[in-house]
Structure 1
Amino acid sequence: MTDKVAIIDVGTGYTKMGVAPNSTPQYVIPSVIGIRDQKLSSTITKKTGLEELDFLIGDEAVSNSKAYPSEKFMSHGIVSNWDHMEKFYEQCFYKYLRLNPEDYNVMLTEPPLNSPENREYLAEVMFETFNVKGMYIAVQAVLAICATWLSKNQTSQKLTGTVVDSGDGVTHIIPVSDGAVIPSAIKHIPIAGSDFTKFILEMIRDREPALPSDEAMQIARNIKEKYCYVSNHMVREYEKWDSNPQDYFKKYEGVHSVTKKPYSIDIGYERFLAPEIFFNPEIYSTQHTTPLPVLVDTAIQASPVDCRRALYSNIVLSGGSTLFKHFDKRLQKDITSIVTKRLAEHERKSGVAPTPIETKVISHHFQRNAVYFGGSILAQSGQFASLVHTKAQYDEYGPSICRVSPTFSSLM
């Protein structure tokens, strides 16, 4: 009988959790914790029936932020407060998943370049506090590649590819060869989902006096998720809008949660300008001006020569900020253009025509939860039981066994 596996993917913005073989997470909650403020009057908590709780997590922490000020314990994928992280895991196990961790193997995720010390501390928390049966710490990029195996665009189950992972806080470009990350080639962009939301908010706030200030951020987030798309060319897109504005301008209508008054907001050029930040970041930031396609190409060129073709042919998308309509097509077009120009320059200088390089960007239905879905696939594989770190191993050798987790081989 296959051991039961719980999967918890804690990201900077959101946490996805569930039990294999579920293909989608059972719960998706904000990665925040609210610690009760003892200085506040107990009146607030008594009204909500929360007076006996010391802390809350996820949506409860956000909705009760007056009595339980919300704090993030993750920064760019790295744990910044281990005490809060431990409390967060406690609620994930017992309140949300409602399982006894002693009966489960647990698959946890980590960003690239996570320190060995963080892995050891995570092992101590899992084995000593929760007494889990076994644990495996998987690199998020590797799981994202596994999530493409069931995609109609994928033709083989390989563990080599370039992962473009963009969530709420940061965007990473991570080359992976045979299940192992190439650390020296990793690139990152300090631009992700929250930046697009802020950009949209700035644009609509300048022209919409009816915008409710207390709901403005959520409105901007809704516009981003429902109306934004990636254009093929920014200047030409402006021309299309100006020639047929009735086809592109939209209206966002809502009702204020407190006053119950309806409001209407015009949605304009931010529909394509927000995602355009990926390809022309100078419209948003003066600190970072390198387009995403250029960074993807740079990351692959920084990888070993013998795996570059495979990295170009399997560019994998992961995270909610890669879900913009036409994002995959624009990224593939721009990377192909960069590669084609380099090959043409090589031919001009050498007089020898190089072998063409295939560039392929893989998108699929599980993109938003790609890391969780990839973890679910690997948790069901025959290799998982032999690669997981067990409680017996921890008791014998200590937390150092988790400094490195064995990598999966191709399952073909």
Structure 2
Amino acid sequence: MRLSRSFLPTLKENPAEAQIVSHRLMLRAGLIRQTASGIYAWLPAGLKVLRNISQIVREEQDRVDAQEVLMPTLQSADLWRRSGRYDAYGPEMLRIQDRHKRELLYGPTNEEMVTDLFGQTVKSYKDLPQVLYHIQWKFRDEMRPRFGVMRGREFLMKDAYSFDVDYASAVATYRRMMLAYLRTFQRLGVRAVPMRADTGPIGGELSHEFLILAPTGESGVFYDAALEDQDWLDEPVDTNSAEALEAFFNRVTTPYAATDEMHDVTAWDGVPDDRKREGRGVEVGHIFYFGTKYTQAMDVSVSGADGAQFYPEMGSYGIGVSRLAGAIIEACHDENGIIWPDSVAPFRAAILNLKSGDAVCDAVCEQIYAKAPEAFLYDDRAERAGVKFADADLMGHPWQIVVGPRSAKEGRVELKRRATGERQELSVDEALALVLAG
């Protein structure tokens, strides 16, 4: 994309309404714009980030044999009456009537709808297990939406739902999904710690939330330093083996980890002092096992091996995709702007033409840009070098390819790594090899 032709409106000053880092930087870097209270339009660069996050989430769900579907945003109120949650959910649910006076709602979550879809289709234990997921927009009418996409009313979410034949199988699915989540966050370039959590309005008896460690996080966290090193996620885990999944689960959940709300001082005292860590975290995912809560309430059963009907065991698994865009910025920024991890950045590099209109500079920039137009944001504006450097830092591209008159005559460029500030002078081919690697 050529910056001179792009819809990428950056701001020099911090917007007055933005209270936290991610909200300020998403507005200043031209990723989003507010259209109503707690509702945002995603501009081209922001949408690229959202799609990159979604794709990583999708690939890790597919890796554990979850199947993607797409459920509607609008749901029938009758489904929620069957589960008993329609009146109990509260004012966060946006209730709607169509022209025929039928009651609908803008889905805040999809347990009811997916249970109904499952009940229409699956009739025998032979068809279990099933894990269905989708990446879809949700709406919760927050009383005080704030912090940009971190606590908005409309948000993009990956929610998955599992159906298993018995408790042991359901727990294995839960553990498999925990592995998928940790791999997802690792690929996104952030460290997330799983913490035992309250099940809340979704219900159930086994629940963990995932918090990205960030100094500006909304929740206080206490955790064992044994959880900081997650390189072992690269080790293979046999996801079809209950024993292998149990060993993985114990490795992840045995060290102490808790938010303010779940903090157990007695248990915390048992952590060696040199391994105690305190900080802040941003919740980006939550997984639940809740047994037959919904299948029983909605009378969705299947036939067992003995011919008798039984209610399948369920779990649900959510990742805040749009929230992750803000959470990653909370964890990955400096005083100059965003520092995108390579895997989610809207562009791999900015090409900074320090003398637009100079024949040699223009030719070198065009040569680089032609190699991979989708990977580069080419700053071809007739602006001062300082403005280009500042905008590139603000937008957080992993690399900056700086093309100036002197080096361009020699077929060389300066390559800057945004995360470290390291600079090196290289040939065009050497710079391209580094930027496009992986």
Verify same fold: TM over 0.5: no
State the TM bucket, normalised to the shorter chain: under 0.3
The TM-score, its normalising length taken from structure 2, stands at 0.21
Name the structure where strand makes up a greater proportion of residues.
Answer: 2
The TM-score, its normalising length taken from structure 1, stands at 0.22
Name the structure where helix makes up a greater proportion of residues.
Answer: 1
Quick one: higher RCO (CA 8 Å, sep 6+), 1 or 2?
1
